[in-house]
Amino acid sequence: MSRYSRILGTGSYLPPTVVGNDALAARLARDGIETSDAWIIERTGIHQRHFADAGTGSVDLGEQAARRALDAAGLAASDIDLIICATSTPDMIFPSNAALIQGRLGAAGGAVFDVQAVCAGFVYALTVADQFIRSGLAQRALVVGAEVFSTILDFKDRTTCVLFGDGAGAVVLGADTRPGLLASALHGDGSQAAILCTPGRVRSGVVSGSPYLHMDGQAVFKQAVQVLERVAREVLDKAGCTPADVDWMVPHQANIRIMLHTARKLGIAAERVVQTVAEHGNTSAASIPLALDVAVRGGQIRRGDHVLLEAVGGGLTWGAALLEY
Ligand code: UT7
């Protein structure tokens, strides 16, 4: 009998501190840097973001999202035999966030590792978990996206620091005889690493290079609008579907203009696009599972719906997945 993976439950968590555009603009103004609520909304659709406090890491956020996903699935941590965390802002160099989350949940025994594919990380991690389940290597997987991008933002660079926020989302995947994840596609182009990167490194106790996020926004924008439509069509083709079969699109929440442009090119109505970028900003690998959980708990996405996920991020990396929820 064929073996597939299905989503059994979703969860998410946002740190309580909300920073609106005006508050952020006031903070930047203290260093003589000019930005405005109007510019940020017009260029990105972002109204506010959540920032973790100094003592909170991506493991703290990921643990809470994971607990909520387990509750939604009606499972205990001991039922999980694989944890994958997608993150570019882990708590430690090692061990992985997934191992630390497993330790917090008290679920020792299963495989644990992180996936680092920046904003496309959740689509990558979901696809890897799906392959583990299909092959029989795992029965039930927890896939977490957790980020504290506020820790790598340069608040003297207005072209990047207004874009990102902190948060976490998670799904529990379980083996099933009916397909849940219908198709996925993952891609990368390492020759474009320089257009979106945090190049600093720690060597012999010394940080060399910039530990802050750098982005050529226009270059990433141009790539994004090309690759997202292409990869979305690729997964739809693989699954034998067309854009008309998509009930909900859950894009990476980087910029409302990119999200709606891609939907328009695919012929998917804006009302079918789950939008959380206004409230969350860009939370990198956490943005898709966060948006998915908001739409599931809000009653938008229902069992049986076809949901298209797509994302692009540093690397460059990009990918898409089509699932039946
Ligand atoms: O998550 C991974 C994937 N990342 C993305 O998908 C991000 C892709 N890129 C973008 O979303 C957009 O390129 C941005 C939102 C980053 C920028 O929007 P844009 O429409 O491409 O603006 P721009 O870079 O062309 O800048 C327009 C102007 C410039 O001024 P001049 O040269 O026209 O005088 C910038 O200096 O806006 C200026 N500017 C700002 N002004 C006020 C840049 N940042 C700000 C700011 N506040 N925060």
Most distant CA pair in the chain: distance in Å?
64
Each residue of 249-274: pLDDT tens digit? 999 999 999 999 999 999 999 999 99
Share of the chain above pLDDT 90, in %: 98
Each residue of 261-308: pLDDT tens digit? 999 999 999 999 999 999 999 999 999 999 999 999 999 999 999 999
Q: What is the pLDDT of residue 1?
A: 76
User: Over the chain, what is the mean pLDDT?
Assistant: 97
| Residue found by looking up tokens 């109505």 in the block | 269
Ligand 1 contact, 39 CB (< 6 A): yes
* pLDDT higher than 80, residue 54: yes
* pLDDT higher than 90, residue 194: yes
Q: What is the pLDDT of residue 126?
A: 98
Q: Which atom of ligand 1 is nearest to the CA of 218?
A: 13
Residue minimizing CA distance to atom 47 of ligand 1 = 35
Residue minimizing CA distance to atom 45 of ligand 1 = 159
Q: How far is the CA of 237 from the centre of ligand 1 (A)?
A: 33
Residue minimizing CA distance to atom 17 of ligand 1 = 217
For residue 196, with 0-12 CB atoms within 10 Å meaning exposed, 13-18 middle and 19 or more buried, which class applies? Answer: buried
Q: Please tell me the least confidently modeled range out of 141-145, 205-209, 232-236.
A: 205-209
Each residue of 55-77: pLDDT tens digit? 999 999 999 999 999 999 999 99
Ligand 1 contact, 251 CB (< 6 A): no
* pTM, entire model: 0.97
Residue minimizing CA distance to atom 20 of ligand 1 = 43
For residue 218, with 0-12 CB atoms within 10 Å meaning exposed, 13-18 middle and 19 or more buried, which class applies? Answer: exposed
Q: Which helix (H) or strand (E) holds 278?
A: helix 277-280
- Of the candidates 12, 8, 130, the residue with the CA atom closest to the CA atom of residue 62: 12
Residue minimizing CA distance to atom 44 of ligand 1 = 159
Average pLDDT over residues 98-118: 97
HEC-encoded secondary structure of 66-101 = HHHHHHHHCCCHHHCCEEEEECCCCCCCCCCHHHHH
Each residue of 110-151: pLDDT tens digit? 999 999 999 999 999 999 999 999 999 999 999 999 999 999
Q: Is 119 tagged catalytic?
A: yes
Q: Is 187 tagged catalytic?
A: no
Share of the chain above pLDDT 70, in %: 100
Site to probe by mutation for ligand 1, drawn from 27, 37, 43, 252 as the one with most ligand atoms within 8 Å of Cβ, is: 43
Active-site hit among 21, 50, 85, 119: 119
Domain boundaries, the chain: 4-178, 182-324
Q: Domain 182-324, what architecture?
A: 3-Layer(aba) Sandwich (3.40)
Q: How far is the CA of 159 from the centre of ligand 1 (A)?
A: 6
SS3 label, residue 49: strand
Dist CA 238 CA 235 (whole Å): 5
Dist CA 159 CA 157 (whole Å): 5
Q: Is 85 tagged catalytic?
A: no
Q: What is the pLDDT of residue 107?
A: 86
Ligand 1 contact, 258 CB (< 6 A): yes
Average pLDDT over residues 33-46: 98
Q: Omega before 95 cis (within 30°)?
A: yes
CATH number (3.40.47.10, 3.40.630.10, 3.90.226.10, 1.10.443.10) of 4-178 reads 3.40.47.10
| Residue found by looking up tokens 């939370």 in the block | 283
* pLDDT higher than 90, residue 199: yes
Q: What is the pLDDT of residue 307?
A: 98
Q: Which atom of ligand 1 is nearest to the CA of 287?
A: 1
Dist CA 72 CA 137 (whole Å): 23
Site to probe by mutation for ligand 1, drawn from 21, 33, 221, 261 as the one with most ligand atoms within 8 Å of Cβ, is: 221
Q: Place 180 in a pLDDT band, splitting at 50, 70 and 90.
A: very high
* pLDDT higher than 90, residue 90: yes
CATH topology of 4-178 equal to that of 182-324? yes
